Structure 1
C-alpha cells in the first residue's frame, strides 16, 4: 500500500474511533468519568495548537498558556457582560489570535532568533500571570465582571445554543462539543498541512534560507502559523472555562506552559495524533497517581504515592531520554523496521526456490 492509501486509511480509522468514542462514552460510563474525559479532549486541542506552531512551524513557543488563558478570561468577562455565549465564544478566539498576531509581528519581522522567541513568549506569559494575579480588589473589574485576582472568576455561565441564552448546554453536552471540536481541529489541521500553505511552513521549518531564496516570505508564513495556533489555544481556553465554570491566574502559570510542551515531546513532534495521545496519557497518569495516593500509613506503598509528582517527573524524564523522537514516530519507525525485516525474510525464502 502506498503512502496515500495509508494516509486515507489512517484518517478513516481516526474518524471511526473518534465518532464511536463520542457516541458511546456517555452511555457506558458514569458522569464523573465523562467530566474527566471532557477536560482531556479540551487539553488535547491545546496540545494541537502547539503541535502546529512547534511541530510543523518550527517555532518553540513557551507562551501557549498565555493564549489559552486569554481565551478563558475573555469568555468569562464577555459572558458576564453580555449574557449570551455566541459573541463571547467568538471573542475568545479572536482576541488571542489578534494578540498572537501582534506579538508575532514584532518577533518575526524583528528577526528574533529561535532561542529568544522562547524567552519572549515565556516572559509574556509571566507578565500576564503577575498582572491578573494582582487584580484582587473590587476596583479591578471590566464592566460587571470582577477579575478576582488570585481568587479567579467563579460561576462563569455555560455555553448556550446560539441566540437562546436560556438553553444552556449541560455537562454531557460539553463532552459532545469538546470531542467534536477535537475531531474538527485534527481534521482541519490535516487539511491545512496537506495544502500548499502547509507544505511551505514545513519547508521553512526544514530550511528557512532555502525557502526564502525560492521566493517565499518566512516571516509571513510564521506569523500566520503563530496566529492560527493562538486562535486554537484561545478556543481551548473558552471550553476550559465552560468545563470548570471557573478561571484563575494559575492558567498562565509556568506549570501549565511546561505541561503543554511535555505533551508534544512525549507524543512526538511533527505529528498531530502524537500530541493528542501524549496529552491524554499524561493527564490520565497524573490523575491516576493522585487518585491512588493513600491518605495515611507508613508502609512503602504509602511513601511511594506520597511523592506522586516526583514519580511522574521521573517517568517523563526517562521517557524523553529513552524515546527522544516521541511515542508515535518511534512506533512508526519500529513498524517500518518490522516490515523491512519481513520483506528481507520473504526475499531470502524465495531466492532458493528460484534457484531450484
Structure 2
C-alpha cells in the first residue's frame, strides 16, 4: 500500500511539473523537445504494455507509430479537419494492429517469428515510402514526398476554431497530457480482469486456455489497444516535427527496444523514464559534439558504450533497481526501529498468552 501510494504521488508530482511548472517557465526549446519526448514516450508505453504484461515482443511497434502519423497528415490535408484526421489516424493504427495480430495469433506464430514479422512490416513500409518521391505518389491532395516525408503536415487546431493552429506551448501541454492519460489508461487496463488474464497468459498460456480463456483473443485485444496507443504517439510526433519514412526505420525500432529494457521491462513508468533519459542524453551529447568535440568523440559511440554497461550491470532496468533500493532502505530502517525498541527498557513488547 505504501509503495503504491508513493508511486501515485511520484506520477502526480511529475504531472504537475510537466504540465504546470515547465509551461510557466516559458523555455521554448524545452517545450519543443518535451513534445517530441512525450510522443516517443507514448510509443515506449505501448511496447511496455504488450511486451512487459502480455509477453508479446514486437520488434516493429514503430509501424503503428508511423502509420498514425502518415494517416493523420494525409487525412488532414484532404479533409481540412485536423481533429477528424486524428480520429481516423488512431483508428487506422488500431485496425492495422488488429489485422496483423489476427494473422499472427490465429496462426500460432511463436515469439521469435512474431518479432521478425512485425519488424519486417515496419521495414517494408519504410522502404516503400522512401520510393514515393514523384508527383504521381499522392493520396488525394496529399503528396507522400518520398524520403522527404510530408513537411506540410497540418497542425492541430483549437477546438471550434479551424483556422487557429495550436501554438508550440499548447502542443507541449497536449502531448504531455496525452502521455499521462495513456499511462493511467494502461494502469487501469492492467488492473482489470482483462489485464489479469493477459498476465496469466504471459506466465502460462496453456494453463490459461485450459481454464477456458482464449489466449488468441486476449492477445489480439491487447495488441490492438497498443497499436492505437502508438498511433496517438505518431499523431503527436507529426504535430511537433513532421512525418517521414524515418518513423518506420530500424533505428526507431531499435531505440524503442532499448528504452524498454533500460527503463525496466514489466513496468509502465520505467520505459517512459528510460525514453526520456536516453533522449535527453542523446540531445546533450549531440550539443557537445557540435560545440567543438574532438574527432574521436561520437554521440552514438558514447551512447552505445553506456547502454551496454547499463544492460549488463542492470538487467532488470532502472526503475526496478530504484524500487529495490527503496525497499532495502525501508527494511533497514524498520530493522533499526525494532532493535531500538528492544534495547529500550521503557518499551514493553506485548507478551503472548
TM-score w.r.t. the length of structure 1 is: 0.93
- Rounded to whole Å, the distance in 1 between the matches of 2:343 and 2:337 is 11
1:264 Cα offset (Å): 0.6
Query: Does residue 248 of structure 1 match 2:244?
Result: yes
1:150 Cα offset (Å): 1.1
Alignment CA distance shift 1:201-1:338 (3 Å): same
CA RMSD of aligned residues (A): 1.8
Q: Give yes or no for contact 2:35–2:237 (8 Å, CA) kept in 1.
A: no
- State how many pairs are aligned: 347
TM-score w.r.t. the length of structure 2 is: 0.94
Give the equivalent residue in structure 1 for 2:260: 264
1:283 Cα offset (Å): 0.2
- Rounded to whole Å, the distance in 1 between the matches of 2:91 and 2:16 is 28
Query: Does residue 75 of structure 1 match 2:75?
Result: no
Give the equivalent residue in structure 2 for 1:52: 49
- Rounded to whole Å, the distance in 2 between the matches of 1:32 and 1:334 is 34
- 1:43-100 deviations in whole A, cap 9, x for unaligned? 1111101111111111000111100000000011111101111210001100010010
- Rounded to whole Å, the distance in 2 between the matches of 1:182 and 1:137 is 36
- Rounded to whole Å, the distance in 1 between the matches of 2:291 and 2:25 is 30
- Rounded to whole Å, the distance in 1 between the matches of 2:178 and 2:55 is 25
Structure 1: 5+ residue stretches without partners? none
Give the equivalent residue in structure 2 for 1:107: 104
- Rounded to whole Å, the distance in 2 between the matches of 1:193 and 1:182 is 17
1:21 Cα offset (Å): 2.3
Query: Does residue 150 of structure 1 match 2:139?
Result: no
Instruction: Tell me the SS of whatever aligns to 1:290.
Output: helix
Give 1:175's match in structure 2, choosing from 168, 172, 181: 172
* Superposition pairs of residues 66-215 of structure 1, within 5 angstroms: 66-215=63-212
- 1:257-311 deviations in whole A, cap 9, x for unaligned? 0111111101001111101110000000000000011455xxxx62453x11101
Instruction: Tell me the SS of whatever aligns to 2:162.
Output: coil
- Rounded to whole Å, the distance in 2 between the matches of 1:52 and 1:161 is 31
Instruction: Tell me the SS of whatever aligns to 1:324.
Output: coil
Structure 2: 5+ residue stretches without partners? 349-353
Give the equivalent residue in structure 1 for 2:351: none
Q: Give yes or no for contact 1:267–1:278 (8 Å, CA) kept in 2.
A: yes
- Rounded to whole Å, the distance in 2 between the matches of 1:21 and 1:295 is 28
1:333 Cα offset (Å): 1.4
Instruction: Tell me the SS of whatever aligns to 1:335.
Output: helix
